Chain A
């Protein structure tokens, strides 16, 4: 018996040990260390860490308009971004599950932007917004192309939104496709015989049946949009005048540019709490709407 126990622990150590070690060192310890640093005035230089209690949080809540403006930008962006990217992703999937001849090529095209990292996508689009759009304006004369893209806070917001949709809609499309192909055809046929039109079928049959995919896609879109960093960095650098600065960028700047690590970790902890609450509430809400076929 004791010999078997020992070998049990040996196996546990062999199989679980390595992954647990990396996880602990890289995620668990920094997380708890972060809780501690958020209550200090640490400036990033080891040795000078003073306990300041909740002072950092007081600063954030009373005297940090930049953080709240980045928070407001991120919230607006997340709301608009998740709706549009899910609508586009869903409709791409909806049409690309029909018996189109070019179905596979089209799916590949829509997914392609997603394999390129946000940083490079941002640079590509910087060129499109600056040069491509101005050429299109010369050719077509449409005022849409003549707007000061990335040049002011409103067009900057929509510019990032356009790129975000372009990047993520294809990924959500893949998830929606895999869910749509699992909708039983008998139910669809039965509804058709009962005289349901396309809109009724979509609203009353397809959408309720693919709610698990909606849960996942909303979850993905929220976490991408809320944690956005690369895209802003390369597209607008958060400008003009920090109007497109995301929370993730604000946290980064506080720590690594202003060298206020204590305040930065406090913001990071607040960020974590907000992300956790939003995702848990969203998953709980949409899970409720899931039905069995």
Chain B
């Protein structure tokens, strides 16, 4: 249905641009005020800065210990996401290919668990984390993400594995490939689109998560970006000339991640939601 670019479309375009500017306006306020003096923020928060106070950023960088928080967030997110994708791909593959009663029940159990809100298990979960002796450690946090992320990731892979034809695997087996070899050499590469989806969805979730790290990581040097931002706001309430640059620093990595991998993120969400 290729249509001419009509006046009506042009009007729609204009209206959508206005709505988009409205959507972007909080970012405008955030950015311009992050480089103003406190006095100027107070007197007029809508104006363009008269002089750029880059020192606001230096202060925020140091006070939030940004490099440390960034590294913590990165390490936790990357390790959790990679292991989660691998383990749930393996689990889902086996559950589809070995369609036993046990595996069907297991799969149902994973799906059913998706209804459980995190708040419903967090209190006893903290007890378990303490018992395992992994409280206050990145390892404890990563293990917890593996458990919490398993149902959704496994579900996504399960649907995808079903759509992969069995013939290729049979051919590989005939050629002398072991079952484990078939998975790693043949199946895993074919799962790539769904791996992207699972990785993207889990990255957004884990990177932005506040509640779980706040329960597990008590020590300041372990803080992730959301934790560092939160404790920073407790300390510097209403000191907008350092709070706003701290927020800009906090959102920059994930915005950059989004702009770089935009296509995959949007496709991933579309693919993930169709399954969900």
Contacts and interface: CB of A to CB of B under 8 A. Distances in A.
Interface of A: 7-8, 11-12, 14-16, 18-20, 22-31, 33-34, 37, 46, 92, 95-96, 98-102, 106-120, 123-125, 127-128, 131-132, 134-136, 139, 166, 171, 174-175, 177-178, 185, 188-189, 212-213, 216-217, 219-220, 223, 226-227, 229-230, 233-234, 247-248, 251-252, 255-256, 261, 264-265, 268-269, 271-272, 275-276, 279-280
Interface stretch (B24-32, B53-61, B166-174, B189-197): B24-32
Interface in B79-123: 87-88, 90-91, 93-95, 98, 103, 106, 109-110, 113, 115-123
Given A12-B98, A127-B33, A116 B273 contact: no
Given A109-B24, A113-B23, A99 B179 contact: no
Contact of A15 (B119, B143, B183, B257): B183
Interface in B252-268: 254-255, 257-259, 262, 265-266
Nearest to B109: A28
Contacts of A135: 44-46
Contacts of B250: 120
Given A25-B147, A34-B120, A268-B122, A112 B226 contact: no
B51 interface: no
Contact of A112 (B124, B208, B258): B258
A99 B273 CA distance: 24
Contacts of A99: 3, 5, 9
11 contacts: A11-B179, A12-B103, A16-B103, A23-B151, A31-B113, A31-B121, A33-B127, A110-B20, A117-B254, A132-B45, A268-B121
B199 interface: no
A268 B120 contact: yes
Contact of B273 (A12, A110, A124, A216): A216
B113 A119 contact: no
B244 interface: yes
B266 A220 contact: no
Given A19-B91, A189-B1, A265-B124, A248 B208 contact: no
Contacts of A110: 20, 23
B75 interface: no
Contacts of B91: 15-16, 18-20
